[in-house]
Amino acid sequence: MTLLKTRRSKFVVLSLLVAAAGAAVYAYSIAQRAELIAPAPTPILYDRNGAFLAQIGHSDDGRIDYGYWPVEELPDRVVKATLALEDRRFFEHAGVDPYAIGRAAWQNLSSVRRRSGASTIAMQVARMQRPESRSFLHKVLEAGTGVALTLRYGRSAVLAQYLRLAPYGNGSHGIAHAARFYFDKPVADLSWAEIALLSAIPQSPTRMNPLRPDGLRRAIQRGHQMLDVLQRQNVIGADEAEIAHRQLDDVQMPDLPRRPDALHVILRYHDLIENGQIAAASPKTPLIHTTIDLALQADVTALSRQYLGAWRSAGAQQVAAMVVSRQTGEVLAQVGSSNYYSSHAGAFDYTRVQRSPGSTLKPFVYALGFEHGVLKPTDMLLDVPEGASGIGDADREFLGPMLPRQALANSRNVPATNLLRSIGLETTFRFLRDLGLHDLEIPADHFGLSMAIGSLPTRLDSLMRAYGALANDGQLQDLRWALEQPQHLPVRAISLDTARLITSFLSDPQARLPSFHRYGSLEYPFPVAVKTGTSQGYRDAWAIAYSQKVIVGVWVGRGDNGTMNRMTGAGSAAHLVHAIIDRVHGNKPGDLSDARFPTPPDRKPVDVCLVNGQANDKTCSQTLVEWLKPSEMPQMPAALPHWDGSIGTATAGVGTLVAASTTLPDRDGSSPQIHLVISTPARNSQIWRNPEQPAAYNRLALKADVRPHVPQIVWYVDGQPFAVTDPDKPVFWPIESGVHRFQIRLPYRDETSAVVPVYVQ
C-alpha cells in the first residue's frame, strides 16, 4: 500500500512538472508573440497630374507590391461595422470570447450546417502578425496571444492594429489603404454602403474579391447582413439603412489601378524612398506626388522603342531617355531601357549605368576655359594633325584653324584636347567632379587628355543635371523627383556669362558646319542647344539638348558594351531627342519661331571672320556672329601663319590667333592683296543628282569672283587640285554623291578663298 502511494505521489509530481514545463513553454511562446508589429506604411505614388503611378510594397526581391496603412484615428462607423461582423462582444472580453467558443463547439458537435468561428479581433491580429497553420495548437497559441495583447496594449490599440492589418483583397491591407485603393478617398469619407462592402471582405478576401463578379456578389450579400445588424443595434436608423442597402446593391467598383509600363521609374522611387531622399508629408497617409508626367512617359517610351527598332540592324540593343523641366529640374519622364524584361539586359536602368560619354563633356571643358581666362571667343583653335597626340575625329579629317564656337559646335577632338591641356588635367577633373559627373578619387592622369572625348565614364542622369547648369545660367540644381523631396538651393557652378556663351555655341546651326549639315537632326524651328557624343568603337551614342522648356537626354548602345555599326550620336540619339522635343513643344512640320536664348548681358554681337577671328572688313566671305565683350573686340586683320591642309609648322597655343586669311599679301609684300570668292555654288547648297541623266550633263558649274583680275586660279575639290583656269571662265565638275568642299587658290601665293561645302544626294 505504501509502495502504491509512493508511486502515485511520483506520478503527481511528474505530472505537475510536465504541466509546469508546458505552461512555461506556452507562456514563453505567448510572450514572443505578444507585440503589435506591422510593416511601415506603403507609399502610393501619383504622377504630376494626380494619376495613379504605383505603390512601393514591402518585399525583399524589389517587387512592386501593395501593403499597409495605419489609421490616424479609429473611424467610428468603420469600428461599429467591423465589430458587428467580426467581434460583437469585443469590449466585453479580454481577447478570448468564451461565449463564441462555446457556440462554435456546440455547432461542431451537433453538426449544425451553418457554423460560426470563435476568433476574436485580438486572435485575428495574432494570426495576421504571425500566419501559421490552422491547427488546434496554433488556435490555442492565438487565443493566449490575443489575451496577452489585450492586457498589454488595451482594446483600442488592438482594434487599430486590426484595422491596419486586415486583408481587403488584391494585396490591400488596412481599411485606410482599402478606402484609397478601391474608392480613392480618405476612410472618413466612406459611405455606409462602402463601409459595409469593405468590412465584409476580411472574412475571406479571395472569395469576396470585389473586383470579380462572384466575389462582389458575396461581399454585397454579407454587407447587407452587416447593415441589418447595425440597424438592430440602433447604430443607424431605418431611413439611413434603407439608403445604404440601395446604394450597396448599386455599387460599381472602379477599375483596379494598374501600374503603368514604367518599372525603372518605379524602382527609382523605391530606392529614393528607401534611402530617405523622399518621404511623405504624413507618415500615416504616405502619398507621394511625383514629378512624372505619365502621358509624356508613355510617349517617350513608345518613341524610344520605335527608334530603337530602326537601329537594331546596326547593332543597337538598348536605349535610355530622360526629360527634365529646364526651369525646375523636375523629372518629367525616364526610360531606363527598351523593356525591363528584354533579353538584352533590359533589367538594367541605363540612366544610372556609367558609360563612356563621348563628346558630351566638351561643353564643360570650353566653359572651364572661359572661366579660367585661357580662352576667348575670337581665339583660333587648331584642328590639325600637328600636336594632335594621335587624336583624330570620326571623319578622319582636320578642318584647320577654327573659332571656339565652330570647334565646339563641330565637336572637333583636337581643339578640345589642346584646350584641356592648357587648362590642366587636375583642374578639369575636379571641375567635372564638382558638376556631379563623377565621384572618383583617382589621379586625373589615369584618363589623360582623352578625358575630353569620352574616357571619363558618367551616367545619363548625371549629364542631365550638369547640362541643367548650362541651361539655367550656370546654376547647378539637383534633379527633382517628387514634391515631397527636400530641395537644396542651387549653387553657382558656372558664371552666367559663360553659360549663355556656351548655350549660344550649342544652338548655332551655322557654326556646326561643315561637320553637321543644315536641317538635319540637330536643327529645330526654335532655339535648341544640342550636343552629341559617340564613344570609341561606336559603343555609345548620346545626344543632350535643351530648349526653353525642357532638357532631353538619350543614350543608345548595348548591354554587353559591344560595338555598333557606325552608330553616331548625331545619326541616332539626336533623332530621338528631336522627336521628344517636338512632342513636348507640340511642334508640327513647318512651324517656325524667331525666339532665341537670352544673350550674355555684357556682350555685343560682332560679325567675325571665320578664317582669322577678326572683325569683318567687308572682304571676308565667311562670317559668324559672335558675342564679345568690349575688351575682346577684334582689331583689323593682320598677317598670320597659314595652314594649307598638310602637316606643317603652323601651330599655336590657346589664346593665340592662327588663321588662313583670304587676303594675305605676297611674302615679299610687293603685290596687292587679291580678293578670292566662290560665287557658284553657294555655301551649303543641297544638290540632287539625277541618276537617269547622261553623265555628260550631270555637272556642276564652278564660278569665281576674283578682284583684281589675275591670269590663273587653281580650283580645289575635297583638298585636291581639280583645275587651273582663267578666273572669268566657269569650270564644270562631274557631280558625285556625298559632301564636298570647294576652294580656290592662287598659284605660288598664299591667298585662298573660304571653303564652300556642298551636299550632293
Task: For residue range 320-360, list pLDDT tens digits in order.
Answer: 999 999 999 999 999 999 999 988 999 999 999 999 999 99
Query: pLDDT tier at 415 (50, 70, 90 boundaries)?
Result: very high
Q: Is the pLDDT of residue 43 over 70?
A: yes
Q: Mean pLDDT: which of 35-44, 240-249, 393-402, 609-618 is highest?
A: 240-249
What is the CATH number that goes with domain 65-249? 1.10.3810.10
Residue 283 preceded by cis peptide, ω within 30: no
- Nearest Cα to Cα of residue 203 among 311, 337, 366, 81: 81
pLDDT at 662 over 60: no
- What's the pLDDT score for residue 104? 58
CA distance 370 to 119: 77
- Smallest CA-to-CA distance from 353 within 533, 531, 581, 558 is with 558
Is the pLDDT reported for residue 667 higher than 90?
no
Segment 440-445 mean pLDDT = 91
Beta partners for residue 530, in sequence order:
545
Where residue 362 falls among pLDDT bands split at 50, 70, 90? very high
Rounded average pLDDT over 566-583: 96
Q: Give 244-257 pLDDT, tens digit per residue.
A: 999 999 988 877 66
- The number of beta carbons lying within 10 Å of the beta carbon of residue 490 is 16
547 and 527 in contact (C-beta within 8 Å)? Answer: yes
The secondary structure element, H or E, covering residue 380 is: none
User: What is the spatial distance between Cα 626 and Cα 477, in angstroms, rounded to a whole number?
Assistant: 29
Nearest residue to 73 (alpha-carbon basis) of 156, 154, 150:
156
Winning range, highest mean pLDDT, from 142-151, 229-238, 590-599, 617-626: 229-238
Q: Mean pLDDT score of the chain, rounded to an integer?
A: 83
The C-alpha atoms of residue 220 and residue 193 are separated, in whole angstroms, by 9
pLDDT in tens, 89-130: 888 887 777 766 666 556 655 654 444 556 888 888 888 878
- Pick from 70-74, 81-85, 601-605: least confident: 70-74
* 694 preceded by a cis bond (ω within 30 of 0): no
pLDDT band at 684 (very low <50, low <70, confident <90, very high): confident
Of 323, 329, 361, 332, whose CA–CA distance to 552 is shortest?
A: 323
- Structure confidence at residue 297 (pLDDT): 97
Residue 379: HSE in the Cβ half-sphere, 13 Å Cα cutoff: 23
What pLDDT is recorded for position 70?
Answer: 75
3-state secondary structure 446-506: HCHHHHHHCCCCECHHHHHHHHHHHHCCCEECCCECECCCCCCCCEECCCHHHHHHHHHHH
- Domain boundaries along the sequence of the chain: 65-249, 675-760
Per-residue model confidence (pLDDT) at position 657: 35
> Using an 8 Å Cβ cutoff, are 78 and 187 in contact?
yes
Is the pLDDT confidence value at 638 over 50? no
- Among 50-54, 392-396, 689-693, where is mean pLDDT lowest? 689-693
Looking up cell 524610344 gives 304
Q: Say if residue 482's pLDDT is above 80.
A: yes
Q: What's the whole-number mean pLDDT along residues 503-512?
A: 95
Rounded CA-CA distance 532/410 in Å is: 10
Per-residue pLDDT, 5: 63
Instruction: Give the model's confidence band at 18: pLDDT under 50 very low, under 70 low, under 90 confident, else very high.
Output: low
> Among 290-294, 397-401, 536-540, 650-654, which stretch is predicted with the lowest mean pLDDT?
650-654
Who's near 275: CB < 8 A, 6+ residues apart?
A: none
Give the DSSP letter of residue 406.
H
Q: Inform me whether the pLDDT recorded for 679 exceeds 60.
A: yes
Collapsing DSSP to helix, strand or coil, 116 comes out as coil
Q: Is the preceding omega at residue 634 within 30 degrees of 0, hence cis?
A: no
Q: Does residue 228 sit in helix, strand or coil?
A: helix
CATH code for residues 675-760: 2.60.40.10
Q: Which of 195-204, 236-245, 453-462 has the highest mean pLDDT?
A: 453-462
pLDDT of residue 714: 87
Q: Which residue has the higher pLDDT, 462 or 390?
A: 462
More confident residue, 590 or 213: 213
Query: Rounded to the nearest 10 degrees, what angle do helices 460-471 and 496-506 cross at?
Result: 110
**Among residues 491, 579, 604, which one has the least CA distance to residue 528?**
579
Select the more confidently predicted residue: 621 or 423. Answer: 423
> Angle 155-165/136-153 helices, nearest 10 degrees?
120
State percent of the chain over pLDDT 90: 42
State the residue for C-alpha cell 523622399.
278
Measured distance CA(90)–CA(104) in Å, rounded = 17
pTM: 0.75
All cell numbers assigned to 534:
559617340
More confident residue, 40 or 311: 311
SS3 170: coil
d(CA 317, CA 732): 46
| Confidence at 644, pLDDT banded by 50, 70, 90 | very low
CB 287 within 8 A of CB 548: no
Taking phi over 0 as left and psi of -120 to 50 as alpha, with beta for the rest, 529 belongs to beta
461, burial (CB in 10 Å: exposed 0-12, middle 13-18, buried 19+): buried
- Strand 756-760 vs strand 685-687: parallel, antiparallel, or unpaired? parallel
The residue that leads in pLDDT, 641 or 297, is 297
Confidence at 20, pLDDT banded by 50, 70, 90? low
Contact between 567 and 541 under an 8 Å Cβ cutoff? The reply is yes
Tell me the sheet residues that pair with 546.
529, 551
pLDDT confidence band for 734 (50 / 70 / 90): confident
DSSP 360: G
Q: How confident is the model at residue 609 (pLDDT cuts 50, 70, 90)?
A: confident
Q: What is the DSSP code (8-state) at residue 682? A: P
Whole-number pLDDT of residue 700: 81
Report whether pLDDT(422) > 90.
yes
pLDDT on residue 658 = 31
pLDDT above 60: residue 399: yes
Reported as a pLDDT band with limits 50, 70 and 90, residue 651 is very low
What are the grid coordinates assigned to 742, written together?
Answer: 570647294
pLDDT-derived band at 26, boundaries 50, 70, 90? low
Question: Closest by alpha carbon to 653, among 293, 438, 453, 376?
Answer: 376
> Predicted confidence band at 564 (pLDDT cuts at 50, 70, 90)?
very high
Better-scored residue on pLDDT, 45 or 621: 45
Q: Which carries the bigger pLDDT value, residue 131 or residue 641?
A: 131
pLDDT value of position 637: 47
Question: Is 151's pLDDT higher than 80?
Answer: yes
Cβ 376 vs Cβ 587: under 8 Å = no
Measured CA to CA, the distance from residue 581 to residue 394 in angstroms comes to 27
